[in-house]
Amino acid sequence: MNKPKLFAKACHDFTERVATKVLSVYINSMSWKTGDRVLDLGCGPGRVTTQMLMPRLPEDFGPLVGADLLANMIQYASETYTNSKLRFIQFDLSKDIENTLQLRPSDFGKIFCFFLLHCIPDQRYYLAIEPGVHSSYTFIVGC
C-alpha cells in the first residue's frame, strides 16, 4: 500500500492486535543489554514501531530504527513520530544485503519484523543475523 495515512488507519486493528500478542509473549523472554540497538523491518507508517514496540522496550535500550521500502511511509513516520532514540530509514530488503552499509543485521541486538518476510522472495537477510541476536518474525501463511 502506498498511502501511509490510509494504511495506518485501515490496517491498525489487525496489525496491532497481532503485534501486541507477539510482543507480550516474546519481548520479556529476550535477554536485554544496556544500549541494545533495535530494528523494526517493514515499519510502514511507524505506528506499530512507536505505539506497540517502543513502549515495551527496556528503558535503557539503544537506538530504535524503523525501516521500510516506501519513501512516503518513511516520510510519514518521520513527520508523525519523533523521539531522540528513534529514526526511520528507507531500505529495500529485496536488494542484495551484502552491499549495504546502511542496515546490516549485525548492527542490531534485537530485530522485529511484522508481516513482511512472506513478501520477500530472497530471505537471506534473516540468515545474516549474528548468533546471539534475538529476533521475532510474524508471517502470513496460506495466502
Higher pLDDT, residue 45 or 100: 45
Q: What is the mean pLDDT of residues 109-114?
A: 83
The grid coordinates of residue 27 equal 519481548
Q: Is the pLDDT of residue 138 over 80?
A: no
Q: Is the torsion defined by CA of 82, 77, 130, 137 positive or negative?
A: positive
**Distance of alpha carbon 3 from alpha carbon 73, whole angstroms:** 8
- Give the whole-number percent of the chain exceeding pLDDT 90: 31
Write out pLDDT tens, residues 77-90. Answer: 999 999 999 999 99
| 4 within 8 A of 28, measured Cβ to Cβ | no
Write out pLDDT tens, residues 23-32. Answer: 888 888 888 8
The grid coordinates of residue 11 equal 490496517
Architecture in CATH for domain 35-138 = 3-Layer(aba) Sandwich (3.40)
* HEC sequence for the chain: CCCHHHHHHHHHHHHHHHHHHHHHHHHHHCCCCCCCCEEEECCCCCHHHHHHHHHHCCCCCCCEEEEECCHHHHHHHHHHCCCCCEEEEECCCCCCHHHCCCCCHHHCCEEEEECCHHHCCCCHHHHCCCCCCEEEEECCCCC
Higher pLDDT, residue 115 or 7: 115
Write out pLDDT tens, residues 61-82. Answer: 999 999 988 899 999 999 999 9
Q: Considering the entire predicted model, what is its pTM?
A: 0.77
pLDDT of residue 125: 53
21 falls in which pLDDT band (50, 70, 90)? confident
Structural domain boundaries in the chain? 35-138
The mean predicted confidence, pLDDT, of the chain is 77
